[in-house]
Amino acid sequence: MSLALLGSTGSIGVSTLKVAKAFNLPIELLVAGKNINLLNSQIKEFSPSYVVIADREDLDKVQGRGAKVFCGSEGIKEALSLCASPLVLNALVGFVGLEPTMHSIALGKKVALANKESLVSAGWLIDTSKIIPVDSEHFSLWYLLRGSKAFSSLLITASGGAFRDTPLHSIPTQTPSNALKHPNWSMGAKITIDSASMINKLFEVLEAFWLFGCKNIEALIERKSLIHALVEYQDGSMSAHLARPDMCLAISYALNPSLAQSTSFLPKISLQDLSSLALEPISKERYPLWELKEALLETPSLGVVLNACNEVAVEGFLGEKYLFGGMTKIILESMHRFSSLPALKSLEEIVEFDKEVRSFARSLKV
C-alpha cells in the first residue's frame, strides 16, 4: 500500500512522513503550499510520483525528480484521480481541504482526516464510514469506542490556549503575537489562534457529532494535554484515553493499525504525571464563543457558517486589522445573521453559501 499526503509541509504532514518512513510506506503523492524548500527535501527523500503546489509561480522552484507536478485545487483533484493509493491523509488547513476529502471518497479511497473543516462545513454530505479520524481527540474517542458497550456521552479536552490565565479584562485587546504563544506546543498560526478563542473545540464537538452520532458531547480544559478524551457508558462507568501530546500515535493507527500496536512513537506517561491531572470547565466569560456550542449541536449544519466567518476573522486578526476581541464580534454577528440556513445539498451549494458568509463577515466594522 502507498499513501497520498495532502499538507506535507505542515506539522501533521511532517509527522506523517516520520511514521511512513518507520513503516516503510511508499508516498505516491505530496501536496504542499508555499514551503517549497521543505517540499523539495521531501521529494528527494520519498520520490513521489505526483506533487501538487499551491501557486503556479513556484513551478520553477520545484525539484521534481521525475514527479509529475500540478498546481492549485484542480491540481489536487487531478493528482488524486491518478493516484493508485487507497489511503489519503488530508492535513490541509481550512475550507480548502473539503473538496479533496469529498473527491477522495468519491474515488473509493479511505481518508485519514486531520482537516477539521471538512466535517465542520459539510458533515452531512460526507460518508463517515470512509473516514479515519486523525485529530487526537477523535482518534482517542475511536480508540475507546472500539468494540465497546453502549455509551451515553463523550468528552474531549482542551489545553485552554494562549489566554487561559490572562486577566479577563485584557483578553479582548490581545495582539496576534500574544495569541500565538501556545502554552503546550508549537502549531500553525491558524490552529493556534483557534485554540486561544476555543473555536477549535467547537469544531471538534461538531466533528465528534458527525463521526459518532452523539449530541451529548462536552469539553473540559486539561492543562497538561495528557487526557485527550473520555467516554461515559450507559452502565455508569467511564474510560479515559491518555497519551503524550504527539500526533504520531493517531497517524500510525491510520497508516497501519497492526504495526501501530507494536511500535512506540511516544515516551511513557509516569505515575507522577497522573497525580497532578485536573479537569476544569470552559468559562464563557473567558471564551465567549463557547456559548455557541448548544446551538451548533442543535443545528450541526451551522458549522459551515462558523468555519467561514472564523477564517475571515482569523485572517483579519493575523493581518492586524483588529485586536482579539474583534474576532469574537465578527463571529458572533455572522452566526446571528445566518442562524437560519438554506438547504445545502451539494458541494457547489456549500461553496456558494460559504462565499456569502465570508462577504458578510468582511463587511463588518470592528
| Binding site as annotated, residues for NADPH | 9-12, 33-35, 115, 117, 188
Cell of 327: 474576532
- Within the chain, residue ranges assigned H as helices are 11-22, 36-46, 72-82, 98-106, 116-122, 136-145, 176-179, 189-197, 199-212, 248-255, 257-260, 271-275, 293-298, 303-318, 324-337, 347-363
Sheet containing 110-113: which strands, arranged edge to edge?
Answer: 68-71, 50-53, 27-31, 3-6, 87-90, 110-113, 131-133
| Residue ranges at the known binding site | 9-12, 33-35, 115-117, 135-137, 159, 182, 188, 195, 200-201, 204
Amino acid at site 287: Y
Output the known binding site for Mn(2+): 135, 137, 204
Q: Taking the CA atoms of the chain, what radius of gyration do you get in angstroms? A: 20
Binding residue ranges for 1-deoxy-D-xylulose 5-phosphate: 116, 136-137, 159, 182, 195, 200-201, 204
Cell of 204: 471538534
Phi, psi torsion values for 102, nearest 5 degrees = -70, -35
148 sits in which H/E element: none
Collapse the DSSP code of 241 into the 3-class scheme (helix H, G, I; strand E, B; otherwise coil) and give the result: strand
What's the CA gap between 163 and 156, in Å, rounded?
Answer: 19
Q: How are beta strands 238-242 and 227-233 bridged, if at all?
A: antiparallel
Instruction: Give CA–CA dist 309/277, Å, rounded.
Output: 35
196: its cell numbers: 486561544
| Sign of the torsion angle spanned by Cα atoms 363, 123, 209, 191 | negative
Q: Under a CB-based contact definition with an 8 Å cutoff, are residues 254 and 136 in contact?
A: no
Burial string for 293-316 (b: 16+ CB within 10 Å, else e) reads beebbeebbbbbbbbbbbbbbbbb
